[in-house]
Chains A and B, each alone.
Chain A
């Protein structure tokens, strides 16, 4: 009489060799000796937000010192800057947390709301800018390079997941969007095209680069 499929499936497929077990244990011990402390995902998320906030503050300080902006102008943009930083924090947290699929959905929703707010609240400038639109895109992407590098290192500690990488990119992309709010006076069309393009490029770069990097860990 032949065994059932369930019986066949439950049969032991063979034990690992003692040498293989010893090799695995040796490499584990070696890893523990080189990195005795565990990386905390909360600290990585806070680090990402900290880098973004630090960069935005540095840009604000430079703009105030150099003269093209004023405290009054920045205060006028404060609600939008607050919304962007909230988006940054929620996206960074949800991208790096081990679980939290629903929080990631909320992050994406908040990103849509923030992007819409950036476009809809932009007033028509008194005079047209002489700079081409792509200058904003390039500067926003450049502002996100540092935070993106931090985020990619953090993402290597987990298995690649496109949505997670996308949200991580959206988190660091808020840096450029904040810079745009501080430094750019152009109208809503410009924001809809060139600023949001930069945000999308950073998010896509996060997905592409994250998929190319070999993960250090396959943990969820």
Chain B
């Protein structure tokens, strides 16, 4: 017998099986953190938002409706938390430009780290709604219909956001592209 699906675990959690939550946390916490790190580019903030996201899952478990897919629901919560945090982060541009080297960053500025650093910088230069659309469509594999549902826009508008964000990223990172 295989392991239970996320949706079955969530149903169990709603019914009072608290262990089910820990299984969901173990399965999804790293993925959610990856999404949040791309969205806010701030390790400690991403970790705080990870905590906020799973607290939201607990507090809103009564809002999880049968038939809903768990992973998109969870990332919707993470996206909402990230958007709210970005809205309240006033000096984001100053932060991006003056960001000191943190832990785990090589002092010699190795190539792989430099490339990642440039990608993070470029992502932060996108408007939050374009960044969200790019990350959700290109990294998380969401359809434009799912992004549209998340933000209450049409699928065409979601496609446009992702396309514009992707093209802007491409132009910002032009020299990194394979020729």
Contacts and interface: CB of A to CB of B under 8 A. Distances in A.
B176 A25 contact: no
Given A16-B33, A220-B73, 16 more contacts: A5-B166, A5-B170, A9-B119, A10-B139, A13-B38, A14-B43, A17-B47, A20-B33, A20-B50, A21-B50, A24-B29, A28-B54, A35-B59, A39-B62, A99-B65, A159-B84
A158 B43 CA distance: 25
Contacts of B43: 14
A189 interface: no
B25 interface: yes
Contacts of A31: 55, 58-59
B65 A32 contact: no
A146 to B, nearest CB: 23
A218 B176 contact: no
A3 B56 contact: no
B38 A218 contact: no
A140 B134 CA distance: 47
Interface of A: 1-6, 8-17, 20-21, 23-25, 27-28, 31-32, 35-41, 98-99, 101, 157-159, 161, 163, 215-220
B57 A8 contact: no
Contacts of A11: 116
15 contacts: A2-B175, A2-B176, A2-B179, A8-B119, A20-B50, A24-B51, A27-B51, A28-B51, A31-B59, A101-B152, A157-B59, A159-B80, A218-B52, A219-B56, A219-B57
A23 B116 CA distance: 27
Contacts of B53: 218
Report the 7 A-B pairs with minimum CB-CB distance, sorted nearest first: A219-B60, A38-B62, A218-B80, A20-B47, A217-B60, A217-B56, A24-B51
Interface stretch (B1-9, B16-24, B89-97): B16-24
A25 B22 contact: yes
B177 interface: yes
A220 B16 CA distance: 21
Nearest to A10: B139
Contacts of B139: 9-10
Contacts of A6: 138
Range, interface on chain B: 35 or more
B25 A28 contact: yes
Given A16-B47, A27-B51, A28-B21, A2 B58 contact: no
Interface in B44-80: 46-47, 50-65, 68, 73, 76-78, 80
A28 B55 contact: yes
A21 B138 CA distance: 26
A202 to B, nearest CB: 23
Contacts of B104: 14
Contacts of A41: 62-63
B25 A38 contact: no
A21 B56 contact: no
A216 B52 CA distance: 9
B147 interface: no
A161 B84 CA distance: 12
B30 A1 contact: no
A9 B104 CA distance: 19
Interface in B108-131: 115-116, 119-120
Contact of A219 (B50, B63, B166): B63
Nearest to B74: A219
